[in-house]
Amino acid sequence: MAPIQVKKICCIGAGYVGGPTCAVIALKCPHITVTIVDLNQARVDAWNSPNFELPIYEPGLVDVVREARGRNLFFSTDVDKGIQEADLIFVSVNTPTKKSGVGAGFAADLNYVELATRRIAAVASTSKIVVEKSTVPCRTAESMRTILEANSKPEARFDILSNPEFLAEGTAIDDLFAPDRVLIGSLQTQEGKDACAALTEVYANWVPKERILTVGLWSSELSKLAANAMLAQRISSINALSAICEATGANIDEVAFAVGKDSRMGPKFLKASVGFGGSCFQKDILNLVYLSESLHLPEVAAYWKQVVEMNEYQKRRFSKRVVDTLFNTITGKRIAVLGFAFKADTGDTRESAAITLIKNFQDEKALINIYDPQVVESQIWQDLQEVSPNVSLENIQKQVTIKKSALEACKGAEAIVIATEWKEFRDINWEEVYESMNKPAFVFDGRLLVDSDKLRKIGFKVTSIGRGERV
């Protein structure tokens, strides 16, 4: 059987992965109709908003949606219609870490994946290619196939592919336009290879074929977890070294630069910080830990778990340094936290280091001003409530205030904590900030963003992560 020609694509899930990915597919493949479906009416309404106030912030995304929406890109809550009409279906739903039950705190919660799979089986009356786009544990496709085969109509057959995303938030559109690689995993049967060829042809509309890698289904699933775990491992490694730098007087930027010049390693992901965040790194490592434990490999599980433990240590260590520097107490002192997103150029706050820092400052009875240029107020309050479930929102708001600008956040503060590397924090009028603060005025740079020497000349007491005070 020859590979089918994909003419209609449905993506289940209009979030950070499904939305940008399928918008770019629509842009690059004007001959393919792409429908992104989601049960969340407010989210779909945002994707369809006439002024393009999209539900997620990603540089370049508005331009993509503006060009393709209404031509061959559509957003809808009619999930069943999307499934029925599609030749190929991406499953791009959330797979958070389980909060209760077996594997709580480590295993991925596949409830949404299963619900989407069951819906496909119930609705589809013709054969479909079903593509895992969500980050899932190894051999999830086997479970999906079992559900589809047990519940499908006689005239419908399903081929399952794994097509993990390797996007970095903040550069997702560039990553989609010119990916390092597109990975497609399939069963090594003729039907599986034909389905793989069909998806390959979709990407080949703009991705060079040598960058489209085709592998076995299980290798593809594991590759996404492996990639994120090894990237996070680099961050935790450089953060561990930053603690040594602070104790010895070394400079972590200089160490990272020297290490990164080694062609075997390169410079990427060697930037010390207050800790990594985002939807993928911690979740995928914990998933790998759970998988290792399930396979009775405790030493492997302990190895990967340490990457997460080092990340948590870095956040605790940075919080403690703020308290220690401010004369061992921040009770009643006002701290300006600049940045709430887990990284610059995104509005995503999942696992953001800022959340942990602010929680630690709350525990120390500090008063906190927060400013972030992209994160909406409702998301900040939601995150702070989740991390302090026993504290009412009313009591949280007695300690925490959300400000409309960096200058406003810093006014009257004893200290500034840079938690996200937004470019605007480097470029603000630091002289004006200094004049508006209580003295001595402290800056704690958790992202190695600002020019420390310049700020010291203004009068600030500056503490930068990974830079010791010894000469």
**Closest C-alpha among 309, 337, 332, 308 to residue 446:** 337
Q: Are 224 and 182 in contact (CB under 8 A)?
A: no
CB of 364 within 8 A of CB of 333? Answer: no
Strand, helix or coil at 204? Answer: coil
Helix segments in 53-189, DSSP class H: 61-68, 79-85, 111-123, 140-151, 172-177
SS3 327: coil
DSSP codes joined into one string, 13-52: --STTHHHHHHHHHHH-TTSEEEEE-S-HHHHHHHT-TT-
Q: Which of 11, 22, 196, 280 is catalytic?
A: 280
User: 10 Å Cβ neighbour count for 468?
Assistant: 17
Spell out the residues 6+ positions from residue 412 whose beta carbon is closer than 8 angstroms to its own: 334, 436, 437, 438
Query: What distance in Å separates the CA atoms of residue 25 and residue 203, rounded to the nearest whole number?
Result: 8
Q: Taking the CA atoms of 291, 297, 303 and 309 in sequence, report the sign of the dihedral they define.
A: positive
Please identify which residue in the block is written with the tokens 């220690």. 324
| Separation of alpha carbons 147 and 115, rounded Å | 10
3-state helix, strand, coil in the chain (%, to 5): 45, 15, 40
DSSP string spanning 405-449?
Answer: SHHHHHTT-SEEEE-S--HHHHHS-HHHHHHHS-SS-EEEESSS-
Residue 289 contacts residue 106 (beta carbons within 8 Å): yes
Annotated active-site residue 280? The verdict is yes
154 Cβ contact partners less than 8 Å away, ≥ 6 residues apart: none
The answer to whether 375 and 349 are in contact (CB under 8 A) is: yes
Beta strand 400-402 with 367-371 is parallel
Would you please indicate which residues are annotated as catalytic (active-site) residues?
Answer: 280
